[in-house]
Homo-oligomer: A and B are copies of this chain.
Amino acid sequence: MQEIGEKKGRILVAAMDIFGERPYDQVKIEDIAERAGVGKGTIYEYFVSKEELFAAILEAGFNEYFMALVAAAVPSLSATAKLQAVFGRHLSFISQHAAAARIILSERPASRSEIHEAMVNRYMRLGRFLEELLQEGMTAGEFRPVDTAIVAQAIIGIFSTLLVFVLFAEQAADAMEKNAEKLLDFCLLGLAVGD
């Protein structure tokens, strides 16, 4: 019982690593099997196809990412503090899972519409979470009134930006934190209640 879950987990982790390393079509099922320490056929015991395995890691990866963000937004905090915490958690997640983060946050538009749909759903889930946070801040008078849908997307866009820094610029950890802080400031100013 446990072994099954364990083996499926090993495959997922291996797949996440490798799909993060190089584009979909350059990943061989055999590579993943090797990394996971299982036979090629075993992967097909748990996932019906390469495409489905890919979809599965997107889902699993996003869930982990999303849950991390949600957990950061401790209810007792103010909206501003929550936003700050979410920024920080986003940064640490993409720093620790740089490769995985790329596919999670900018996955390939899939052929199968199911995958595409799932992707849109995930975007919306993340958007709603940020919208609620913004709404809360607006209600509390911390943020000026804004179109939450728009600003939520803007924040997601800014999140991607951080990923670009991590992936391309390969900046040092502390420089990254500085950047995150500055981006947060930029957001907070954009949200600041006008005097």
Tell me the A residues contacting B by CB distance below 8 Å: 22-26, 102, 106, 108-111, 120, 123, 144, 146-147, 150-151, 153-154, 156-161, 164-165, 167-168, 179, 182-183, 186-187, 189-192, 194-195
> By the criterion CB–CB under 8 Å, are A150 and B186 in contact?
yes
A194 CB, nearest partner CB in chain B, Å:
8
In the complex, what residues of B have CB within 8 A of residue A24's CB? 23-25
In the complex, what residues of B have CB within 8 A of residue A153's CB? 161, 164-165, 183
> By the criterion CB–CB under 8 Å, are B186 and A146 in contact?
yes
In the complex, what residues of B have CB within 8 A of residue A151's CB? 182, 186
Instruction: Give A116's nearest chain B residue, CB to CB.
Output: B168
In the complex, what residues of B have CB within 8 A of residue A111's CB? 22-23, 26
> By the criterion CB–CB under 8 Å, are B168 and A150 in contact?
no
In the complex, what residues of B have CB within 8 A of residue A123's CB? 164, 168
> By the criterion CB–CB under 8 Å, are A161 and B168 in contact?
no
Q: How far is the CA of A25 from the CA of B54 in the complex (A)?
A: 14
In the complex, what residues of B have CB within 8 A of residue A144's CB? 189
> By the criterion CB–CB under 8 Å, are B120 and A109 in contact?
no
Q: How far is the CA of A120 from the CA of B154 in the complex (A)?
A: 22
> By the criterion CB–CB under 8 Å, are A150 and B183 in contact?
yes
